[in-house]
Structure 1
Amino acid sequence: MDETTQTPQEMKSDKGAAKMAQIIYFLYLATLVIQIAHFVGAVMAYLNKDENSPWIETHFQYQIRTFWMYTLYLIIAAVTAFAGVGVFVFLCAAVWLVIRCATGMKYLYREQAVPNPTTWLW
């Protein structure tokens, strides 16, 4: 969004929401060490997804989608662990999560919307 058309209150609100989106990306990365961080990040994304500028709302939508897809990948990893490929699936999911968070943060720092927040890739 063009900052020249925003009121000072809207700019302050955008900065706060952008900071929250940044915290959620870091929580998602922290989930590789502390699993509960993933759920905390998802709750925060759901609580902050509305009443923001459209470009920030795409980040929260992207983060919510990331939560559900990563959870699905973890379930697949658990189910396939008995076949011996669960560790490989988990490692692929972890790499996917890191790339997805890095991509989201790149757009966040540029103050741009995520181009396709519903994608399964990054």
Structure 2
Amino acid sequence: MTDALTTETPDAEKLASLKQLTLVTYILYALSVFTGLTAIVAIIINYVKREDAAGTVYESHFTWQIRTFWWSLLWAVIGWVLVWVLVGIPILIAAGIWAIYRLVKGFIYWNDGKPMDVK
């Protein structure tokens, strides 16, 4: 009976730790709107802890966050390059709204304990 308890506890602890870490990364991405640097910290965490999240509900959240980061970065660069011809401003606004949508949706799914649909 002791073995059953010890084998279940690490899984529960691992899930609780991953849940907290996933929240931290969502917060870091949200703070990046003001600082920018926190997104770099969050993407590093995502890549370093991605293997630990494999096979859990949080694996999809890590994938969601990683894709959000890279696509946001791409559209931000395109927007900044095109800002000189005035096309970049709408691109930057759209990219910002899209990133906020992704963060809010991810947080809601995290709060409900649901995986992200990242097919």
With structure 2 as the length reference, what TM-score do the two structures score? 0.86
**Residue of structure 1 equivalent to 2:4:** none
Pair 1:89-2:98 in alignment:
no
Aligned-residue CA RMSD (Å): 1.5
The residue type paired with residue 45 of structure 1 is N
Distance in 2 of aligned mates of 1:62 and 1:39? 15
Partner of 1:43: 44
The percent identity for this pair of structures is 21
Distance 2:84 2:99 in 1: 23
Offset of residue 51 of structure 1: 2.3
Larger Cα-atom Rg: 2
More helix, by proportion? 2
Give the 3-state SS of the residue equivalent to 2:96 in structure 1.
helix
User: Matches of 1:49 and 1:30 in 2, distance apart?
Assistant: 21
Deviating 4+ runs (over 6 angstroms): none
Query: Matches of 1:11 and 1:29 in 2, distance apart?
Result: 27
- The residue that corresponds to 1:101 in the other structure is 103
Segments of structure 1 that go 5 or more residues without pairing to the other structure are 1-5
Q: 1:54 aligns with which of 49, 56, 63?
A: 56
Q: Deviations over 1:78-116 (max 9, x none)?
A: 111111122221121111111101111111111111122
Report the equivalent of 2:8.
7
Q: 1:51, 1:29 → 2: CA distance?
A: 23
Comparing 6-15 with 55-64, which one deviates more in the overlay? Answer: 6-15
- Measure the CA separation in 2 of the matches of 1:103 and 1:37: 19
CA–CA distance in structure 2, aligned partners of residues 11 and 111 of structure 1: 14
Instruction: Show the 5 A alignment for 1:66-81.
Output: 66-81=68-83
- Which ranges in structure 2 are unaligned for 5 or more consecutive residues? 1-6
| Aligned 8 A contact 1:29 1:97 in 2 | no
